[in-house]
């Protein structure tokens, strides 16, 4: 399925995700991401402007002109990163970003009140966990305060607006992880890192006010929140250097947000594809910067907050539906695990005891792209055609085609509305392992290629390259048999249109859909 928000609804509506419903979901995801990042960009430039004014008061004033120029600079840097690609641009900039952030936090932790920070970190974490349920549901119904509306609800909406971008981007770079690893790596680790970040900076400031008598910090922050961090650094060593580093950190934070967000929006707009033309990626990067600048000029902070809330509201409904979709997908996955058992395997002709020499050659070979493509066209495609002809003789609707754009051969089998079987062999590219060496007179390959099997539910992680025609045919039939068995044991896998009209369907005795 395409890497887009519409795919989260596949367990609920099936192939309808490729129609108007799926388009609508992706449009809301694009708008939410666009306004969410624009809001962040607009808020960040006010702090960048305040920091530059703090360092260079006679040169840089605080006004919207400077802030629009800052948006233009961040947008230009994000554009360079996006055009450089995921590995050369986004990855390197993200690493620089995290090194700067961690270095700044460690510096403040060491030169600040270290013992107080550690004690406060433990107490703050306990207080947060102890009150999270009460504060999550609090709307201050018995108090007259706009705090909930101007802060808490805005943060909720802002977070929801970022959800499609962050979710899809992290999913893209987390392929191969288990759900458990994903939850630990994406939710728990960053959450506790954030707890510690707030403890280091927030409690260093509180210590200055409560213990060191720096009470003027309160009024300075209330008058201008954008300079709060720089006022904190006035009471720490290397003030000018640390303040300059902070401005650079803020810039890199939002350059990485803009470039990764632009990649996700671009992929959503292209139906989940990632190999989009450069001009399309450029369009979305520039659009993000333009939206942030327009909202900043039109209404400042209020306009930015309103845009984030408005764009997040419809997507909040989509998230709730997606949660149900994920629950159903996992339930189906449980049934599938009972009926399907796919492991990495060798071509059957290599399993004979006498074929051990050929087996060593096979597992050490690193086939080139051209070899795998020729194999797919000359072995896989004829095998699929032969299978489809036999199924067609028994009344099945079959379709075999070769997709030259994605380098894949696809076999589809249909029987009315009951069974829709999809078997695909796709060229996949992987980085060559370090132990591979070049043969005499040739350069070492940077990548090795596989003819991987994909079913409707996704990749099966095994390689068909080297299989003979009979073995390919048997693998197709094995997967088809498992698919029929899966339909037998999993009532949740019935086609969605059948479930909707279940009362109108008459099932023949012996059908794989026997109630």
C-alpha dist (Å) from residue 287 to 74, 157, 295, 491: 13, 21, 12, 46
Joined tokens for residue 132: 């999270």
| Residue 378 pLDDT | 92
Residue 15 DSSP symbol? G
H or E element that contains 120: helix 114-137
Under 8 Å CB-to-CB from 271, ≥6 apart: which residues? 2, 4, 26
Alpha-carbon gap, residue 295 to 133, rounded angstroms:
34
pTM of structure? 0.63
**Cα-to-chain-centroid distance, residue 174:** 8
| Residue 497 pLDDT | 41
Alpha-carbon gap, residue 482 to 474, rounded angstroms:
12
Q: Burial code of 111-126, b = ≥16 C-beta within 10 A, e = fewer?
A: ebbeebbeebbeebbe
Task: Give residue limits of the domains in the chain.
Answer: 23-140+148-323, 348-504
| Residue 439 pLDDT | 53
| Residue 490 pLDDT | 64
Q: Which residues in the chain land under pLDDT 50? A: 342-343, 440, 495-515
β-pairing, 447-455 vs 458-463, is: antiparallel
H or E element that contains 461: strand 458-463
H or E element that contains 403: strand 397-403
Shortest CA distance to 71 belongs to which of 232, 289, 259?
289
**Cα-to-chain-centroid distance, residue 214:** 43
Task: Round to the nearest angstrom and report the end-to-end CA distance of the chain.
Answer: 29
| Residue 515 pLDDT | 33
Please count the other Cβ atoms lying within 10 Å of the Cβ belonging to residue 164: 29
Concatenating the DSSP letter of every residue in 314-369 gives HHHHHHHHHHHHHHHHHHHHHHHHHH--------GGG-SGGGHHHHHHHHH----H
| Residue 438 pLDDT | 53
Under 8 Å CB-to-CB from 13, ≥6 apart: which residues? 21, 496
Alpha-carbon gap, residue 428 to 264, rounded angstroms:
22
| Residue 309 pLDDT | 76
| Residue 494 pLDDT | 53
| Dihedral angle sign, alpha carbons of residues 468, 470, 476, 482 | negative
| Residue 127 pLDDT | 93
């Amino acid at each position: 399925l395409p890497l887009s928000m519409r795919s989260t609804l596949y367990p609920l509506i099936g192939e309808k995700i490729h129609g108007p419903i799926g388009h609508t979901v992706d449009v809301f995801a694009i708008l939410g991401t666009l306004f969410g990042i624009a809001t962040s960009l607009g808020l960040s430039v006010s702090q960048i402007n305040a920091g530059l004014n703090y360092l260079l008061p006679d040169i840089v004033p605080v006004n919207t002109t400077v802030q629009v120029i800052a948006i233009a600079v961040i947008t230009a840097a994000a554009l360079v990163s996006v055009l450089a690609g995921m590995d050369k641009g986004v990855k390197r900039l993200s690493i620089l970003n995290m090194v700067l952030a961690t270095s700044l936090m460690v510096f403040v932790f060491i030169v600040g009140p270290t013992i107080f920070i550690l004690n406060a970190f433990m107490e703050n974490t306990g207080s947060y966990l102890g009150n999270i349920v009460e504060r999550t549901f609090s709307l201050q119904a018995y108090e007259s305060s706009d705090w909930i509306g101007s802060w808490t609800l805005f943060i909720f909406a802002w977070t929801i607006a970022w959800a499609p971008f962050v979710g899809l981007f992290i999913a893209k770079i987390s392929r191969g992880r288990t759900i458990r690893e994903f939850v630990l790596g994406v939710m728990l680790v960053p959450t506790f890192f954030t707890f510690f970040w707030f403890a280091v900076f927030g409690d260093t400031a509180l210590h200055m006010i409560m213990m060191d008598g720096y009470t003027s910090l309160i009024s300075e922050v209330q008058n201008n929140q954008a300079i709060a961090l720089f006022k904190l650094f006035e009471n720490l060593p290397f003030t000018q250097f640390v303040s300059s580093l902070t401005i650079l950190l803020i810039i890199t934070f939002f350059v990485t947000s803009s470039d990764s967000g632009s990649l996700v929006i671009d992929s959503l707009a292209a139906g989940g594809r990632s190999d989009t033309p450069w001009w399309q990626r450029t369009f979305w990067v520039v659009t993000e910067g333009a939206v942030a600048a327009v909202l900043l000029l039109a209404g400042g902070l209020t306009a930015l907050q309103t845009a984030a809330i408005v764009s997040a509201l419809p997507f909040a409904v989509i998230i709730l539906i997606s949660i149900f979709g994920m629950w159903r997908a996992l339930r189906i996955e449980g049934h599938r695990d009972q009926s399907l058992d796919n492991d990495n395997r060798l071509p059957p002709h290599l399993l004979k005891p006498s074929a051990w020499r050929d087996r060593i050659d096979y597992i050490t070979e690193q086939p080139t792209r051209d070899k795998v493509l020729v194999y797919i066209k000359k072995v896989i495609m004829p095998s699929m055609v032969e299978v489809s002809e036999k199924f067609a003789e028994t009344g099945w609707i079959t379709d075999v085609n070769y997709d030259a754009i994605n380098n894949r051969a696809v076999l589809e089998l249909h029987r009315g509305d009951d069974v829709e079987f999809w078997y695909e062999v796709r060229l996949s590219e992987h980085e060559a392992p370090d132990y591979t060496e070049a043969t005499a007179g040739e350069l070492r390959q940077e990548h090795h290629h596989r003819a991987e099997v994909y079913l409707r539910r996704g990749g099966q992680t095994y390689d068909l390259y080297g299989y003979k025609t009979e073995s390919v045919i048997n693998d197709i039939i094995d997967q088809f048999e498992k698919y029929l068995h899966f339909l037998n044991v999993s009532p949740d896998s019935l086609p969605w249109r059948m479930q909707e009209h279940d009362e109108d369907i008459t099932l023949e005795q012996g059908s794989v859909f026997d109630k």
